[in-house]
Structure 1
Amino acid sequence: MDIKVLLNQLDYINYTGKNDVNIKGITYDSRKAEQGDVFVAIHGYTANGHKFICDALKNGASLVICEYIPDNVIEQGNFLIVKSPRESMAIVADVIYNRPSEKVNITGVTGTNGKTSTTYLLKGIYDFLGEKSGIIGTMGTLVDDEKIKTNNTTPEASDVQFYLSRMVESSVTHCFMEVSSHALELNRIDNVSIDVGIFTNLTRDHLDFHKTMENYYQAKKKLFYKTNINNIINVDDSYGNRLYKELISEGVKAISIGIDNPADIKASNLVTTMNGTSFDLNIQGIDKKAHVNTPGKFSVLNSLGAFGAAYALGEKIDDIINALDKIKGVTGRFEILENKLDCIIILDFAHTPDGLQKVMDTINEFAEGRKIVLFGAGGERDLSRRAPMGEIAGKYCDLSILTSDNPRFEDPYDICSEIAKGVEKYDGKFKIIIEREEAIYYAIDNSQSKDVILLAGKSTEPYQDMGVEKVPYDETTIAKRAIKDIERKRGVRN
């Protein structure tokens, strides 16, 4: 691609360099820059990309998009000076990858909790319908059945466009994308054509970044002005109720979903067991029966979001209901681990007070024995959620095992001690075991008949953030290994 094509697409301050530059790709990582690449110097959480322009040029970058030219690289390359490299990256990537979002039907899902589950429910629906689909989100990117590891819930703009282009090449017809509030604030989905938006809920989180709940809400709200077809809004959530009313008053299309409040798509008469939840479903006056295989009210709400999106996209009601009945569940989201220990062991991503509350509410509906929860809290993130999570654990559980969960540069024992203050508020019993693998083994080894053990927070997250490095970590493998060891110890496995 000739550089003139890019220059015609951008508002820029100045360009210094050759007029016959050929562009092939785009990156914001100087280590990955190659001949023909555009290197975009963005401000990250810990580093300023302008410091790495020299490295990018040495590696072959043919064009640098930046706010200013550092003294050490003046006249050493081709430079495009812009007001916002992030905004420019989204535009350039869209052009380089030939506007892929216009060739794939895209549903964007935003909210504090439930994003991953909703995207995988949608993929399950379209798998049932026999259509190729992809996912971009917390658990990585899926291009049909190929999985690609990613670092963020919503990748940077250039990566999003690249993954969408891969989907186009693979004849994927639908993409289900988790859209984080960070992504909406940092231009990661600029120039992405989104057909349907889903709002799951909004509870206290990420205030280290947004500072206030109002800022957090306004960031999420941006998604619903980008959609081409419709928006699906959970009006049982107080912020969702507000959002729905604001969108309708502004003439923006929206379909409401809910259980407790009146809604266009409404579930009622929920019956929950360990094996799932059955309910009555009313779709704008049409009555149906439905079932989902993951138990709990929160699971039904996620299913309503997925149902609403598929319905808005024109799928038949009975087909969607049949698909939801066949979906086994989402890996690491209220996933029940098989065992012979006469107890229930659940793996879940709950890592906020609201997420933990919803999981515990569900467990309460079927628990027969003790309730044991194992969890921690992230270091250098919203400190105010630690004690509230402890309060929920202390209120609901017979034992809370407090452990490490991405401590970063904080002392994990100090983090656990702050959580413990909340547990103590309800006179709850707790034990601090910093090494998470040891904590999991302890929880399972000390299980009794009919216990329900919840391993919360890590789920499928593939690392422990220890500050200086992200250490590979696999909670599913660790838990399954502990189960087998203890089964052998108790003589119920050969």
Structure 2
Amino acid sequence: MTSPTDRIRPAVLVPRPVAELAARFDLTTSDPGTLAEVQVTAVASDNRAVSDGDLFVALPGARAHGAAFAADAVARGARAVLTDPEGAADLGDLSVPVLVTDEPRLLLGPVAAWVHGAPAERLTTFGVTGTNGKTTTTYQLDHLLRALGRRGGLVGTVETRSGDRVLPSRLTTPEASDLQAVLAAMCEDGVDSLSMEVSSHAIAMHRVDGVVYDVAGFTNLSQDHLDFHGDLATYFAAKAELFTPARSRQGVVVVDDVWGERMAAAATVPVQTVRTGPAREGAPAADWTVAEVAPRGTGSAFTLTHADGRSLRAWTSLPGHFNVANAALAVVMVLASGVALDDVVAALEAGDGLSAQVPGRMEVVGPGDGTHPRVVVDFAHNTDALELALAALRPTTTGRLVVIFGATGDRDPGKRPLMGAAAVAGADVVVVTDDDPHDEDAAAVRAAVRAGAEAARDRAVAAGRDVTVTEVAPRAEAIRRAVLEAAGTDTVLVAGRGHETLQEVRGVDLELDDRVEARAALRARAERTPTA
């Protein structure tokens, strides 16, 4: 796991006067005379990440106020502290200037952007939000942009990439101060285009303040993160903020369901819409539509047509209709940025379509050969994503479809029985196991998932459909047993964790990579299988 000190930051840091900072952002200080000679070169809101020359922003927190760590930040080299009146009152005597504002959280991004010279304005920026598909869409964007000759940067769940430099991500969207440093490093590395996931948490917690995206994209919305947002309406509203002038210049919205239609209607920036399936009755016409979807390799090819008659043929190597939607969104976002359609067509040919392999997203770790099952690892960690992943694998599964999954502890308990029911609806063999229990009792989380699965199984059996539901823990054993017991014509989907390599159990991070465990199980299976 990365630590707070694993920061990407530019190699060359330009000092910025604290007096100018205070004037620009209307900050107060008890001793303006102390500002005259002070300069800062970067911004940090975590004292453990402070380097010499930083501005330390002491934010109010759920457990403690950042002001409690200001002395340590100064000891590490912070040249000034920015906080709120409450924090300022608790700072005591510091050897550096203290700047005060009522809402330092709201200034963290804009201040960091100013300190680093507004790096987002030197990039063509693409921000993607939605419940599912953000990671895949950003990878496809990056793949297409590189095929166009751009030098790409990527920020998301799996990794942060500045040109050819890669650092694993701790958050889907970094803290605002870290994000601005990353963007500055990208500019220094010659990056000209940014593809970035923008989570609802990031919007609500102001992590992307200081960035106005050239093109914002919306994939879809379904139940997730309600432990944080409370209800779907609040969750939707957080994502809808991305489609306002404060956060983007234009948008592209997939309108395959009512949430997409609502997003397009709620947007206060110009929006282009994309529809990848039949329109519901009374729905407005889309600007772009997907048709002529056909199998191509492991994925699909499709035609994307604008209402004015323009069209192109595109394809993705990833299976499932939802990946057609992700690919179409990526293409239209690039077109919306001003790239000519003919140039996109040429780039698709040069880059073999939208064939970027996304770690842990429908990643095939065992292709299946009739003797050993096909094994696929996917990040599907909510009801909608699980349904879509199973539906994508069903048409190419000649035997049984087996799914191994769990639900995350300390997160939206209402979705646990729904995920169990979705697994039964889409699979023939359902193995309930652990995801990340966090601080919850793992057995209790499994029980809630299993209850939903068993109720759905009873209904399926009554309707004449045979489905098996079992519970196996720990997760590594569940993967091993499912792979060893599967038939050679079966598909085994290991869902929920995707690219993740650590499992959190009561505050302890345990090494666990679904792909590693699946490959080990396949090797064990091969060793016990007689050869001809």
TM-score above 0.5: yes
Change (3 A) 1:223 1:372: same
Q: What corresponds to 1:231 in structure 2?
A: 251
Matched residues in 2 for 1:104 and 1:325: separation? Answer: 24
Name whichever of 122-131 and 369-378 sits farther off.
Answer: 122-131
For the 8 Å contact 1:42–1:49, the answer to whether it is kept is yes
Name whichever of 59-68 and 445-454 sits farther off.
Answer: 59-68
Following TM superposition, by how much is the alpha carbon of 1:366 offset from its aligned partner in structure 2, in angstroms? 2.1
Following TM superposition, by how much is the alpha carbon of 1:76 offset from its aligned partner in structure 2, in angstroms? 1.9
Superposed, which structure 2 residues align to 1:313-324 within 5 Å? Answer: 313-317=337-341, 318-322=345-349, 323=351
Matched residues in 2 for 1:290 and 1:46: separation? Answer: 49
Report % sequence identity.
31
Q: What corresponds to 1:405 in structure 2?
A: 435
Q: How does the TM-score come out when normalised to structure 2?
A: 0.88
Matched residues in 2 for 1:293 and 1:253: separation? Answer: 31
For the 8 Å contact 1:372–1:454, the answer to whether it is kept is yes
Change (3 A) 1:336 1:87: same
- Number of matched pairs: 490
Matched residues in 1 for 2:52 and 2:496: separation? Answer: 42
Q: What corresponds to 2:336 in structure 1?
A: 312
Q: What corresponds to 1:330 in structure 2?
A: 358
Q: What corresponds to 1:169 in structure 2?
A: 188
Matched residues in 2 for 1:492 and 1:21: separation? Answer: 74
Q: What corresponds to 1:80 in structure 2?
A: 99
Q: What corresponds to 2:74 in structure 1?
A: 57
Following TM superposition, by how much is the alpha carbon of 1:62 offset from its aligned partner in structure 2, in angstroms? 1.8
1:444 to 2:474 alignment: no
Superposed, which structure 2 residues align to 1:94-493 within 5 Å? Answer: 94-226=113-245, 229-247=249-267, 250=268, 252-260=269-277, 261=279, 262-272=285-295, 275-284=298-307, 285-317=309-341, 318-322=345-349, 323=351, 325=353, 327-339=355-367, 340=369, 341-427=371-457, 428-491=467-530
For the 8 Å contact 1:255–1:264, the answer to whether it is kept is yes
Change (3 A) 1:481 1:328: same
Q: What corresponds to 1:23 in structure 2?
A: 40
Matched residues in 2 for 1:274 and 1:448: separation? Answer: 23
For the 8 Å contact 2:42–2:181, the answer to whether it is kept is no
Which amino acid in the other structure matches residue 74 of structure 1? Answer: G
Q: How does the TM-score come out when normalised to structure 1?
A: 0.94
Q: Secondary structure at the match of 1:365?
A: helix
Which amino acid in the other structure matches residue 339 of structure 2? Answer: E
Which amino acid in the other structure matches residue 121 of structure 2? Answer: E
Which amino acid in the other structure matches residue 302 of structure 1? Answer: N
Matched residues in 2 for 1:212 and 1:448: separation? Answer: 42
Q: Secondary structure at the match of 1:408?
A: coil
Q: What corresponds to 2:27 in structure 1?
A: 12
Change (3 A) 1:306 1:45: farther
Which amino acid in the other structure matches residue 244 of structure 2? Answer: Y
Matched residues in 1 for 2:127 and 2:399: separation? Answer: 39
Which amino acid in the other structure matches residue 343 of structure 1? Answer: P
Following TM superposition, by how much is the alpha carbon of 1:254 offset from its aligned partner in structure 2, in angstroms? 0.7
Change (3 A) 1:266 1:253: same
2:59 to 24, 42, 52: 42
For the 8 Å contact 1:303–1:324, the answer to whether it is kept is no
Change (3 A) 1:337 1:228: same
For the 8 Å contact 1:273–1:365, the answer to whether it is kept is no
Name whichever of 306-315 and 4-13 sits farther off.
Answer: 4-13
- What do residues 332-390 of structure 1 show as CA deviations (whole Å, max 9, x unaligned)? 11111235544211110000101011111112222211111011111111011100000
Matched residues in 2 for 1:230 and 1:27: separation? Answer: 30
Matched residues in 2 for 1:487 and 1:82: separation? Answer: 64
Gaps of 5+ in 1: none
For the 8 Å contact 1:9–1:91, the answer to whether it is kept is no
Matched residues in 2 for 1:492 and 1:225: separation? Answer: 62
Following TM superposition, by how much is the alpha carbon of 1:145 offset from its aligned partner in structure 2, in angstroms? 2.0
Q: Secondary structure at the match of 2:421?
A: helix
For the 8 Å contact 1:109–1:115, the answer to whether it is kept is yes
Which amino acid in the other structure matches residue 311 of structure 1? Answer: L
Which amino acid in the other structure matches residue 313 of structure 1? Answer: S
Matched residues in 2 for 1:89 and 1:410: separation? Answer: 33
For the 8 Å contact 1:292–1:303, the answer to whether it is kept is yes
Matched residues in 2 for 1:295 and 1:47: separation? Answer: 46
For the 8 Å contact 1:111–1:200, the answer to whether it is kept is yes
Which amino acid in the other structure matches residue 175 of structure 1? Answer: L
For the 8 Å contact 1:105–1:174, the answer to whether it is kept is yes
Following TM superposition, by how much is the alpha carbon of 1:420 offset from its aligned partner in structure 2, in angstroms? 0.5
Change (3 A) 1:375 1:486: same
Change (3 A) 1:34 1:320: closer
Matched residues in 2 for 1:148 and 1:237: separation? Answer: 35
Which amino acid in the other structure matches residue 58 of structure 1? Answer: A
